[in-house]
């Protein structure tokens, strides 16, 4: 997949006609995948490339009062690019959603972007809006000379699959349901750093992680997880939250890997979140904590593998 960073339409460089998919696509969830499935079907029929025009960051940053959550993503840039490639994208055009971009009229967007990208077919979702006047796919049908495909809403349990819904599930710790809507497992990358080393003293050594990417973390609690380390996948249990039993005040992300022994400081690993075991609990002492960790371990070890 070819990735091009563009400032505006003048930076577009292409010599091939395409099926163009438009949207933000932070999560690349099952609802988004439906657009790419349709694009791939058309591309194969018409012998066209699949191209995407999307944004590095959320367009909301241009319109609303800043909060740190606006800079968080459901997937790291690397994983996002990998999913685009997996979904069949040949050319990925990335631009920043700036004030200047937000003022582009719908007609100019069609002329300067869609036509310069040599789109013969445009694929969008049912709720897609574009241009400063927020026109929809019906406007595109009337004003674009090529074909426009509007993909209908994809639902799970009678409700639209959306990035907002998935973020809310993650914030509640409902990882299993979030993974179902994503169509793949939610994950977090981190570098292994030194912590308190308290886990070693009670038989549960942990890899303490400093998150690498600007991605969301699940709600505080203990989770069944898998850990990717140097190409190997290990079953683990991972906790996120403050270590309240020992008076912790800082957010900690710690993974206890099963069937693994060794120091891995400085390594980058990926936590693949599978399901929540329990909330964070303040225990009366170490014995009670160890008893609970043994129970957590049994749950994690018997959790089905994908």
108-162 pLDDT tens trace: 999 999 999 999 999 999 999 999 999 989 999 999 999 999 999 999 999 999 9
Q: Which pLDDT value is given to residue 285? A: 80
CATH 2.40.30.30 corresponds to the domain 186-302: yes
Write down the pTM of the prediction. 0.92
Chain centroid, CA 286 distance in Å = 37
DSSP annotation of 97: -
Enumerate the CATH 2.40.30.30 domain ranges in the chain, comma separated.
Answer: 186-302
Backbone angles phi, psi at 224, to 5 degrees: -75, 135
Q: State the pLDDT at residue 146.
A: 96
Query: Residue 98 class from Cβ within 10 Å (0-12 exposed, 13-18 middle, 19+ buried)?
Result: middle
User: What's the CA gap between 306 and 303, in Å, rounded?
Assistant: 10
Please give the pLDDT value at position 89. 98
Segments of the chain assigned to CATH 3.40.50.620: 2-160
The single residue listed with the structure tokens 């930076």 is: 11
Strands 119-125 and 18-22: parallel
CATH numeric code, 2-160: 3.40.50.620
CA nearest to 204, candidates 305, 292, 302: 292
The 10s digit of each residue's pLDDT in 173-200 is 999 999 999 999 999 999 999 976 666 6
Residue 202 reports pLDDT greater than 70: no
Pairing mode, strands 91-95 and 49-55:
parallel
């Amino acid at each position: 997949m070819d990735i091009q960073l563009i400032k505006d339409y003048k930076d577009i460089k292409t010599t091939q006609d395409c099926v163009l998919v438009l949207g933000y696509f932070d999560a690349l969830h099952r609802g988004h995948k439906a657009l790419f499935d349709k694009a791939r079907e058309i591309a194969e029929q018409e012998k066209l490339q699949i191209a995407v025009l999307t944004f590095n960051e959320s367009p909301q940053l241009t319109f609303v009062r800043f909060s740190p959550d606006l800079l968080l993503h459901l997937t790291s840039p690397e994983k996002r690019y990998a999913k685009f490639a997996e979904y069949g994208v040949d050319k990925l055009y990335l631009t920043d959603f700036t004030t200047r971009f937000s003022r582009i009229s719908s007609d100019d967007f069609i002329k300067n972007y869609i036509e310069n990208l040599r789109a013969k077919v445009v694929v969008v979702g049912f709720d897609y809006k574009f241009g400063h006047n927020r026109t929809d796919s019906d406007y595109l049908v009337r004003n674009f000379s090529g074909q426009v495909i509007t993909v209908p809403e994809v639902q799970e349990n009678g409700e639209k699959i959306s990035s907002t819904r998935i973020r809310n599930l993650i914030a509640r710790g409902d990882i299993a349901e979030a993974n179902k809507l994503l169509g793949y497992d939610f994950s977090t990358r981190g570098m292994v750093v030194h912590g308190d080393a308290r886990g070693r003293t009670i038989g549960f050594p942990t890899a303490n992680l400093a998150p690498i990417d600007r991605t969301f973390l699940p709600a505080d609690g203990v989770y069944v997880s898998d850990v990717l380390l140097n190409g190997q996948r290990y079953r683990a249990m991972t906790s996120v939250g403050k270590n309240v039993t020992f008076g912790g005040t800082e957010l900690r992300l710690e993974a206890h890997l099963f069937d693994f022994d060794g120091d891995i400081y400085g390594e980058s690993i990926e936590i693949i979140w599978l399901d929540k075991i329990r909330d964070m609990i303040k225990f009366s002492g170490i014995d009670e904590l160890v008893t609970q960790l043994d129970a957590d371990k049994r749950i994690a070890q018997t959790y089905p593998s994908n």
